Amino acid sequence: MRQRRIETVQSQPQEPAIASPISSAYLHIPFCRRRCFYCDFPIAVVGERRDRTPSQSIAPYLTALTAEITLTAARSTPQPLETVFFGGGTPSLLAPEQIDQLLTALDRTFGLAAGAEIAMEIDPGTFTLAQLQGYQSAGVNRFSLGAQAFQDDLLQTCGRSHSVAEIYEAVEMIRRAQIDNFSLDLISGLPHQTRDHWQNSLEAAIALDPAHLSCYDLVLEPVTPFGKRYRPGETPLPDDDLTADLYRIAQTHLTAAGYDHYEISNYARPGFACRHNRTYWENRPYYAFGMGAASYTDGIRFSRPRTRQAYYDWLAAGAQRPDAPETASDRLLETLMLGLRLREGVNLDRFTPSEQTQIRATLAPYAAQGWVILGADAIALTDPEGFLFSNTILASLFAQFDPDSAPW
Ligand code: SF4
């Protein structure tokens, strides 16, 4: 892998500079071969592209993304990035030269720290061995493969554009490229998914020996085909008891296989937790670039327009962010909501003494129930029961600190 140059660029600020030190960047690559039936992400469908040629619509988007990177760096006090994440969408629909173009732009403007984690989502059936090696040469050193399930009928039910055989082909290429730091994504709670399906998927995933596994529970988004077709907890979706069982089964199987359940949905071999995502869970600031991408800078959370044209128009108009930072209660609740996803939980020194007293009082009944650990310095959810009932626990915290903003 080529070692990238580390540099920072001091540019003339054009509006109030982004002040806090930020060392993580998310880049949204919004292209997919088709739209999966559960997905409401901001993406553009580019067709199957079995010949692996990049879609013509990608190049103008990368030009816009590069412009946003340059503009943001000019408004910031850039420091070398410790983590970069290419998410999507399907970033492996980009040619290695296109990933290189974006990393070069980040390197030129912010700099890339030595040893930075540079992660990329990839989908089965969208890349070749040469492409993977090209991404590595460009600097990518962590790959996350969207497997989702190891049953062809379930993949088809979800509208996924790949087969189980293509998952195995993808992992074979990952092996041949000698990539150790790779993750597999799985989804539980799919329509028609049984306990046996889920166990088999977990066992198949473990047999492939990834360094990391993400296990997400299906969320029914109203605008998606699944959201329109199914109702939570009703056949063919699993009921609440089965959903909880699937969570416990993942926890049992993966921890028995030596994975550390370090976050509510994530498991890793020692040393392979995702550094980029920790930035989110620790409620630290990060840049984001691209349509629909959400950044957190200067206490301001901002989501960019969700279609390409609206994103291009926003960029052409100066890429303005709102200037109202979050309130103290927003920050407190975000810190709790994100931090309690981590097994080690949240350190109480992030809160004032009065907030600590209120948090302890709110969580005391859940501690008695065995769902929460109230330590001297930190609070955490228990694994798996506290994680399973995290929404109930968080609802109480919202009711305590900001009843109007509860997301439930
Ligand atoms: S591949 Fe991922 S981002 Fe693309 S449509 Fe499917 S779930 Fe959504």
Full set of structural domains in the chain with CATH: 24-281 (3.20.20.70), 327-408 (1.10.10)
Ligand 1 centroid to 13 CA: how many Å? 36
Q: Which pLDDT does position 50 carry in this prediction?
A: 75
Residue among 27, 29, 41 whose CB has most ligand 1 atoms within 8 A, to mutate: 41
Please write the tens of the pLDDT for every residue from 72-103. Answer: 999 999 999 999 999 999 999 999 999 999 99
Q: What is the dihedral of CA 280, 285, 289, 294, to 10 degrees?
A: 60
Residues in the chain: 408
Taking the CA of residue 123 as reference, the ligand 1 atom at the shortest distance is: 1
Does residue 142 surpass a pLDDT of 70? yes
Q: Which pLDDT does position 49 carry in this prediction?
A: 76
Please write the tens of the pLDDT for every residue from 172-195. Answer: 999 999 999 999 999 999 999 999
Q: At what angle do helices 390-401 and 353-369 cross, to 10 degrees?
A: 150
Q: Which pLDDT does position 19 carry in this prediction?
A: 52
User: Beta 372-374 vs 378-381: how paired, if at all?
Assistant: antiparallel
Q: At what angle do helices 328-339 and 390-401 cross, to 10 degrees?
A: 170
Q: Which pLDDT does position 141 carry in this prediction?
A: 98
Assign 404 a pLDDT band (cuts: 50, 70, 90).
confident
- What are 408's two structure tokens? 């439930």
Does residue 3 surpass a pLDDT of 80? no
Please write the tens of the pLDDT for every residue from 37-54. Answer: 999 999 999 987 777 777
Please write the tens of the pLDDT for every residue from 325-334. Answer: 899 999 999 9
User: Beta 182-188 vs 212-217: how paired, if at all?
Assistant: parallel
Does residue 250 surpass a pLDDT of 60? yes
* Mean pLDDT for the stretch of residues 223-236: 96
Residues in contact with 337: Cβ distance below 8 Å, sequence separation at least 6, in sequence order: 394, 397
Does residue 266 surpass a pLDDT of 50? yes
Q: Which pLDDT does position 11 carry in this prediction?
A: 35
Residue nearest atom 2 of ligand 1, based on CA coordinates: 89
Q: Which pLDDT does position 15 carry in this prediction?
A: 44
Does residue 230 surpass a pLDDT of 60? yes
Residue among 33, 36, 144, 226 whose CB has most ligand 1 atoms within 8 A, to mutate: 36
**Ligand 1 proximity of 32 Cβ (cutoff 6 Å):** yes
Residue among 39, 145, 190, 218 whose CB has most ligand 1 atoms within 8 A, to mutate: 39
**Ligand 1 proximity of 35 Cβ (cutoff 6 Å):** yes
Q: Which pLDDT does position 13 carry in this prediction?
A: 34
Assign 1 a pLDDT band (cuts: 50, 70, 90).
very low
